[in-house]
Structure 1
Amino acid sequence: MVSILYAFIVLIPIQLMGNVYRISRLTTWEIDTVNMLIAAIIIVDVIGGTILLLLLTRKWLGDRKANFWTVILWIPYFVLFTYLIASLFPITYGGDAPNPVTGLIALGGLIVYPVYILILNFLGFTTKNKKLNPA
């Protein structure tokens, strides 16, 4: 379940960045408005997701070293969810295609994301041990 949440945390910003033109066309909002809204959603997603996953990692996974498997296990869920969204909501209008730079930003984020998960798991692992052993 934690791996599914990790996949959703990265899926939401990537899908929003890739669908800026579609959101603008369907809502008739200006591109700047859509970009500012998406930036706000991404900030809330990152901050809220970090807090939520840190708490869930401590509660559900505990101090087991097996929780570090989530560094890899989010990838199949991310691929599955991306495939489902692309299949259910294909880009049929050429003007909705994202900029090439969006793909580079997404790739950069996906490369750094396992390090982020590793840091969250390490923080959840060490803070749980400090609370149990105060000495």
Structure 2
Amino acid sequence: MKYFWKLNAVSAIFGALLGISSELMVNVYRISRIWEWELGAVVSGVDRINIGIAALSLILGAFIVWRWLEGRVSSYWSLLLWIPYFVLFVFLAAQLFPETYQGDRPAPVTGLIIIAMTIAYPFYLALPVSLGVWLNRRQKRGVPAIPIE
């Protein structure tokens, strides 16, 4: 039962990472208006944050699967279990921060980008999950998980 909660916590982290990324993309106009920053600076900052989130999810995901989920094959369930957490995160963000100004509506192409990100995300997550499982199997065989010379 303890592993079940760990798996759900990891899935919630994966869902939150994509949720934060998509919410930042949707709210660039709102961030620009409220903080009175130039739109180009906000878009550039959001792009940098999204790249950082992508790198963080690779490194953090592999480490969490390796250490916390013990590299079990059932870790692959996190490739599907992040979806309800992502939906919950986006729903809560929409309820907590409703759109009150029509100028804050994102461009229509933003929705298509988020749909593409959501479709590609399980394939993207397969890399850190597989890496974590591989590192654990390597460690169990007695070979150093990360060969540092």
Hey, what does 1:65 align to over in structure 2? 73
Structure 2 residue corresponding to 1:81, chosen from 85, 89, 93: 89
Gaps of 5+ in 1: none
Gaps of 5+ in 2: 1-8, 144-149
Deviation at 1:85, TM superposition (A): 0.6
Structure 1: how far apart are the matches of 2:72 and 2:50?
Answer: 30
Normalised by the length of structure 2, the TM-score is 0.86
Structure 1: how far apart are the matches of 2:103 and 2:71?
Answer: 49
Conserved in 1, the CA contact under 8 Å of 2:58 and 2:125?
no
Aligned residue-pair number: 135
Q: Secondary structure at the match of 1:119?
A: helix
Deviation at 1:127, TM superposition (A): 1.7
* Structure 1: 4+ residue segments shifted above 4 A: none
Structure 2: how far apart are the matches of 1:111 and 1:103?
Answer: 12
Normalised by the length of structure 1, the TM-score is 0.95
Give the AA of the match of 2:57: G
Report Cα offsets for 1:13-50 as digits up to 9, x if no partner.
10000001000000111110001111111111111222
TM-align CA RMSD:
1.3
Report 1 or 2 for greater relative contact order, CA contacts < 8 Å, sequence distance ≥ 6: 1
Give the AA of the match of 2:127: I
More helix per residue:
1
**Percent of aligned pairs with the same amino acid:** 40
